[in-house]
């Protein structure tokens, strides 16, 4: 997968206002901790996540996505008339039908000629959306597009807490399966891409590689629970198995990516990864033989924000001056399923 005509015109994010610490969550789970003899501080110790953020109750993903997408379009400096595609790529959506992208497209004031759709692929949705739009630009079908998404983890975290408190037969092993659900945070991010002629000073999307290892599709599953109807949303994760399967897939995908781009590890200036937890980051960078100082971790204070995790870290890195002209930036995306998508950008 190589691109000759695609530029990154803008990357931006929206952070929720409410901060919830891991200590706050454990305080609510104190009855469970006491009954099972679990030490407080376990959540942060095991994951490295000290806090995450939530949007106000009742916030719809499309509402925030519309604001983030509008800002990305404005930051790009490209006339709205040139935007021929909008993809909404987060797990969270306003409803099953119509596409949340329809509301976002309307609120952002994009042309009726635009290609509009939702894309859902666990934590890879925004990167997948960026590739779809880049392909269309490379083929000459559109001149510019924006991919956006908003993840709201409040209902998952709070539903998990309520379920753990209500289950008097709960065991330590049960808690382990639910632990990943307590790491989830919220956020919103958008990426605007365009034909290089529209943005000559933009940053080049060079290409990359993707791989699937779908034998591991049951290691992390989420949705409405048929076992516990009172829960709006539940997620079950075999964290250890997912860690090792995900890193193994990442290693192979990174080899493909370097081969496609003609890169070696020495060519990489900056790295932005999907943000899961401290152990995942450490093992991933070790296996890919990438210097941890090149990475820009945000999971400690944002938690796992799903499909918006990587682009949010990327946006924060840009905002904080972590990327300079000439840098070669690696975007390392991994999502449950398992799927991996890795891209290279020349700044």
Instruction: Transcribe 294-327 into DSSP letters.
Output: GB---HHHH-B-GGGHHHHHHHHHHHTT---TT-
Alpha carbons 290 and 300: distance in angstroms, whole number: 20
Which token pair is 31?
Answer: 């009855």
Catalytic residues: 97, 123
Phi, psi dihedrals of residue 89, rounded to the nearest 5°: -115, 10
Which token pair is 265?
Answer: 């590890």
- β-partners of residue 332 are 273, 342
Which token pair is 346?
Answer: 């020349």
Give the closest residue to 208 by CA, choosing from 334, 46, 301, 320.
Answer: 334
Phi, psi dihedrals of residue 212, rounded to the nearest 5°: -125, 140
What is the 8-class DSSP label of residue 271?
Answer: E
Alpha carbons 152 and 91: distance in angstroms, whole number: 9
Contact call for residues 250 and 334 (beta carbons, < 8 A): yes
97 CB-side CA count, 13 A: 0
Which stretches within the chain are classed as H helix?
22-28, 30-36, 42-47, 61-76, 100-108, 125-138, 154-166, 172-178, 239-261, 278-288, 299-302, 309-319
- β-partners of residue 54 are 18
């Amino acid at each position: 997968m190589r691109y000759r005509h695609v530029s990154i015109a803008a990357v931006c994010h929206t952070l929720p206002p409410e901060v919830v610490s891991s200590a706050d969550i454990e305080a609510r789970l104190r009855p469970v901790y006491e009954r099972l003899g679990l030490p407080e501080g376990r959540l942060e110790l095991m994951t490295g996540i000290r806090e995450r953020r939530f949007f106000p109750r009742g916030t719809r993903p499309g509402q925030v996505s519309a604001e983030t997408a509008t800002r990305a379009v404005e930051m790009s400096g490209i006339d709205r008339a040139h935007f021929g595609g909008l993809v909404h790529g987060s797990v969270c959506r306003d409803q099953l039908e119509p596409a949340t992208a329809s509301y976002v497209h309307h609120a952002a004031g994009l042309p009726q000629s635009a290609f509009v759709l939702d894309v859902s692929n666990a934590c890879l949705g925004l990167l997948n959306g960026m590739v779809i739009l880049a392909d269309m630009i490379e083929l000459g079908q559109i001149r510019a597009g924006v991919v956006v998404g908003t993840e709201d983890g409040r209902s998952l975290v709070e539903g998990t807490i309520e379920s753990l408190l209500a289950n008097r037969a709960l065991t330590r092993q049960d808690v382990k399966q639910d632990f990943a659900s307590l790491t989830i945070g919220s956020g919103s991010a958008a990426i605007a891409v365009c034909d290089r002629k529209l943005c000559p000073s933009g940053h080049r999307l060079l290409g990359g590689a993707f791989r699937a290892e779908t034998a591991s599709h049951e290691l992390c599953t989420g949705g409405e629970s048929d076992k516990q109807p009172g829960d709006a949303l539940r997620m079950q994760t075999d964290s250890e198995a997912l860690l090792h399967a995900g890193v193994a897939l990442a290693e192979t995908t990174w080899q493909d990516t370097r081969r496609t781009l003609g890169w070696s590890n020495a060519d990489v200036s900056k790295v932005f990864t999907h943000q899961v937890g401290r152990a995942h980051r450490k093992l991933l960078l070790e296996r890919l033989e990438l210097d941890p100082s090149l990475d820009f971790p945000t999971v400690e204070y944002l938690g796992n924000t799903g499909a918006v995790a990587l682009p949010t870290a990327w946006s924060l890195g840009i905002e904080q001056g972590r990327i300079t002209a000439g840098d070669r930036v690696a975007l390392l995306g991994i999502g449950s399923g398992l799927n991996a998508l890795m891209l290279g950008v020349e700044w």
